[in-house]
Structure 1
Amino acid sequence: MAPLPLDEARAYAYQAFMYGYPLAENYSILWQSTLAIQQQFNTFYGKAQLTTPADTTVVTPNNDTAYSQGWLDLGAEPLVLQVPAVPQEPPRYYSFQIIDACTNNVGYIGTLTTGAAAGNYVLAPPGMVPASVPNATVIPVPSRYIFLLGRTQMLGPNDVPATQAIMDEYALVPLSRFLGQPAPPPAPATPFLPVAPSFITTLSFFQYLNLALTFQTPPAGDAPLLERFARIGVGPGLPFNPSTLDPELAGALQRGILEASKAITHKAQGGAVENGWNLPEVNLPYFGTDWWTDYDFRSLTARAGIYANSPSEAIYYRAYQDTNSQPLSGANQYTVTFPAGQLPPAAAFWSLTMYGANQFLVPNSIDRYSLGTQSNLSVAADGSVTIYIQANAPSAAEMPNWLPSPLSGSFYVVLRIYGPENTSYIAPGLTQVGGSGS
């Protein structure tokens, strides 16, 4: 085969990064959450506590629900997720998001999909899908390695014991044990690669991508892409050694990676904007049997907030700018006013959360990172609700509705609507009302 022209190699590297960034980012999180800290696969980890600025594993985390997390290795046999009945007086949201190795959402278990009753759910990889299992629902999944992300709503600061009691009843059980049968032999070991710092924007990215591509059979429609990627040594299980590359070829591949990474960051803050809000994409195939094929969108989602919910479960509005199209700054004060009867339409609940430029929660004097349905918001005489977004404390009357921003620098806010009742909803924007509070 003739040597690959450098411009063509750069273009293939760009495309491969756009295609594979979520897979490599997911692998990095898998490594950091399990092997790097000697946590076991097929076990739940989580406490009835909300995210704080100290939590920096996943960008743009929510501050509404307690997380239960489990990395599943289904190489030997399926696992059964067992959930208890979740009391609904008062109403409490919970969900388990089933995420494959490409960051596609395979499906959901929870109040909005399967209900609040107790249940058993068999998560079965290719080649191990049983026709049926007594007293259980079978859910086929496409990967050996699955991320199971549970969210259990906390109904205020005094709700920790009740939330923890529910979370303690979530369980993962091997299918053989569930059926009272002998366990199968262990699966072949995976040759995991330790995650190096900042590997995402180096040529080593392709080593991690080649490993991650072995976790899940690519869709048949991806064959033309993978044929092109193979020209630069990228594909499931292919060897890739940056140190053996011709320097000019290595430079071309590196340029492709950096250009793609920059494009993802730019696109993550793009899209349709109204009232300063980046509107959610609600018509893309996030999950089910119609796997994502908009790979640019899949990558920008992974960069902006990996493991985002599907629109049927929750939608996200991001604001990086105010109603005058000016970037949000900690040097300014802003308000968001919801007219009477026009709070975000949510079957479960809504929240507005503050994030710093580093994509994590913003430290502040009252440890408040979000406001929403679960907040005791002050309502004006005309029925409207105004949220005050600023670094320093407002008046005593405005304190219940204060969402602290950073003292300086840029920030953004995310409006989450769980169980969206109107996916065309446009929230009122952030209006600048002055400089930094005093």
Structure 2
Amino acid sequence: MRQFLFPLSLALLVAPSYSLFSSGRDILSEQDATIAALVYGIPLTSYVVWANAVAAEKGGWFTNSFYYQPTLANASSPHVVILPNVDTLYSGAMIDLSQGDVVATMPPLEEGRFYVWPFYDLYGDNFCNIGTATNSLAGKYLIKYRASEPGCVAGSDEYTGIIYMPTVYGATLLRIEVFNSSDVNYVASSIDPGFRLSVLPSDSAPRAPALTQELLNDNLNTSDPALYIMQLTARVAAFNMPEVPEDVAPIAAVLEIAGISMTAQTYTMPAGVNLTLAYSAAQDVLLGVVANQTNFVALGNSWMMLAPALCGNFLSHYGVRAFIAMQAYLQLQASEAVYPTFALSGNLYANQTYMVQFFGKPQVNGFWSLTVYDGEGYLVPNSINRYSLNNRDNMTYPDGTLVYGGSSPANSTQSFYMLLQSTDTPASAEWESNWLPTPAAGGEFSFQLRWYGPTDSLLNGTYTYPKLTAVAANPPLPISG
């Protein structure tokens, strides 16, 4: 999957955008259609990587059956998701409605613990969530295929709710908050198993071929990224069309022009197409997502985030969908979580220490964290096995009192600080509780801020976002601020 990853630092370069499936262009050239088809199909590559990782962890290819993550992610964990957090246990499952409907069973939710059970279509659109933020009730939820108007609706006497999935194949990635390391076993053994999927028997003909390992992996040219995307799209697109009804016909037409047979599920490159140039142009589309400032919200102090309306469920924004699939696959809707990004992430100076000033406690209905990654998106190995700091850690104010768990009120605006410093240079005693180790030998790194259950203050600019300052190693603690 590495050859398909577009680093965020590269994406910050200004690049031209491309108009996909424009209603003003009734007939696309085969070259233009190929570019559009590549952008449309890029998220499928992330699905395959994710599905193969889930199957590897589960010990076999099983659809409609959870892999329950037994431990929190760490520096040696495989990449089941890109840029993993270390605040939740993940439980993943491939959803296959080809043979019939599926039932999702949710146990009662513990008060004070944040849960989100998201459902995704084949392209990574987060079309439905149940859990804490939606005040969902325990019970059985019927998952049904419906080609348009996906989402969650109230159920009947038999089902607490109905989840309409817009594609035959999809995914779910349950996230359950873990308070600390001693809480992991309890969540893994006593909470996770209560979330289950089961297939209902069906007397009707299959809607599509079964979602098998062979369907997603066999006889595809993985050595050529562009050819691979086109072949993979041809194999599954006919049974998994877009969720926006008005897009179905034009996208089907574009795929056919590009050489994808919707009936035979095969790809034949048109004679005049240059697939290498088309792939380069498709990359420009993804770069153009960031170049288009209307896609983002400036938050102050060099922080930005994807506009909340574009988070998670992308609808007709296929360029944004492809970009997020490469950067943060299986993103949640903004009502569940948002992921503010520091504008210089990925370009932080080697061997440089940074101090992060928080201007008061972030107001969340769930939890928040700041996590450090190396240049390839992996958690950073370090002697204290600390990969993030969050509202459940024993961070302290400069005067030594606890930020959380002490006498400071929940809405305190008193500043506290984190130290981002190489694991080669251990933090001094006064910084130890607030130290986030960065890579050894001055390696490139980035970090990710996460708000789970964000309040309006974190979305509308009311909250003052953290300030990053380059400092000497183990600087004096700020006196006040």
Match status 1:228 vs 2:254: yes
Contact 1:354 1:405 (8 Å CA) reproduced: yes
* 1:358 aligned residue (360, 376, 379): 376
Contact 1:328 1:412 (8 Å CA) reproduced: yes
CA distance in 1, matches of 2:154, 2:395: 50
Q: CA 1:362–1:294 in 2, change beyond 3 Å: closer, same or farther?
A: same
Match status 1:433 vs 2:471: yes
Q: Secondary structure at the match of 1:159?
A: helix
Residues 258-337 of structure 1: matches in 2 within 5 Å? 258-264=280-286, 267=289, 271=293, 272=296, 273=298, 274-284=300-310, 286-287=312-313, 292-321=315-344, 327-337=347-357
CA distance in 2, matches of 1:49, 1:268: 34
CA distance in 2, matches of 1:200, 1:149: 29
Larger CA deviation: 359-368 vs 229-238: 229-238
1:336, CA displacement in angstroms? 0.8
The equivalent of 1:121 in structure 2 is: 141
CA distance in 2, matches of 1:82, 1:294: 32
Deviations 1:95-129 (A, max 9, x none): 111000121111111111134x52211111138x9
Match status 1:214 vs 2:214: no
1:262, CA displacement in angstroms? 5.0
Q: Secondary structure at the match of 1:76?
A: coil
* 2:195 aligned residue (170, 185, 190): 170
Unaligned runs of 5+ in 1: 1-6, 177-182
Residues 11-410 of structure 1: matches in 2 within 5 Å? 11-34=32-55, 38-53=60-75, 54-88=77-111, 91-115=112-136, 117-126=137-146, 132=156, 134-164=158-188, 165-176=190-201, 184=203, 187=206, 189-190=209-210, 192-194=215-217, 198=222, 201-218=225-242, 219-222=244-247, 223-234=249-260, 236-237=262-263, 238-241=265-268, 246=271, 249-250=272-273, 252-264=274-286, 267=289, 271=293, 272=296, 273=298, 274-284=300-310, 286-287=312-313, 292-321=315-344, 327-339=347-359, 342-381=360-399, 383-391=414-422, 392-407=425-440, 408-410=442-444
Unaligned runs of 5+ in 2: 1-27, 148-152, 402-413, 476-481
1:152, CA displacement in angstroms? 0.7
CA distance in 2, matches of 1:104, 1:75: 19
Q: CA 1:130–1:278 in 2, change beyond 3 Å: closer, same or farther?
A: closer
Q: CA 1:162–1:283 in 2, change beyond 3 Å: closer, same or farther?
A: same
Q: Secondary structure at the match of 1:158?
A: helix
1:279, CA displacement in angstroms? 2.1
Contact 1:101 1:215 (8 Å CA) reproduced: no
Give me the identity figure in percent: 26
CA distance in 1, matches of 2:221, 2:419: 38
CA distance in 1, matches of 2:56, 2:444: 35
TM-score, normalization by structure 1: 0.84
The equivalent of 2:409 in structure 1 is: none
* Amino acid in the other structure paired with 1:173: S
The equivalent of 1:3 in structure 2 is: none
1:162, CA displacement in angstroms? 2.1
1:284, CA displacement in angstroms? 2.7
Deviations 1:272-317 (A, max 9, x none): 5532223232123744xxx611111111111111111110100111
* 1:414 aligned residue (448, 452, 469): 448
Q: CA 1:236–1:114 in 2, change beyond 3 Å: closer, same or farther?
A: farther
Q: Secondary structure at the match of 1:124?
A: strand
The equivalent of 1:4 in structure 2 is: none
1:417, CA displacement in angstroms? 0.4
Q: CA 1:133–1:79 in 2, change beyond 3 Å: closer, same or farther?
A: farther
Contact 2:39 2:285 (8 Å CA) reproduced: no
Larger CA deviation: 223-232 vs 261-270: 261-270
Paired positions, count: 408
CA distance in 1, matches of 2:449, 2:374: 15
Q: What root-mean-square deviation, in Å, do the aligned CA atoms of Structure 1 and Structure 2 show?
A: 3.0
Q: Secondary structure at the match of 1:192?
A: helix
Contact 2:54 2:67 (8 Å CA) reproduced: no
1:160, CA displacement in angstroms? 2.0
TM-score, normalization by structure 2: 0.77
Larger CA deviation: 399-408 vs 222-231: 222-231
Q: Secondary structure at the match of 1:413?
A: strand
Q: CA 1:417–1:200 in 2, change beyond 3 Å: closer, same or farther?
A: farther
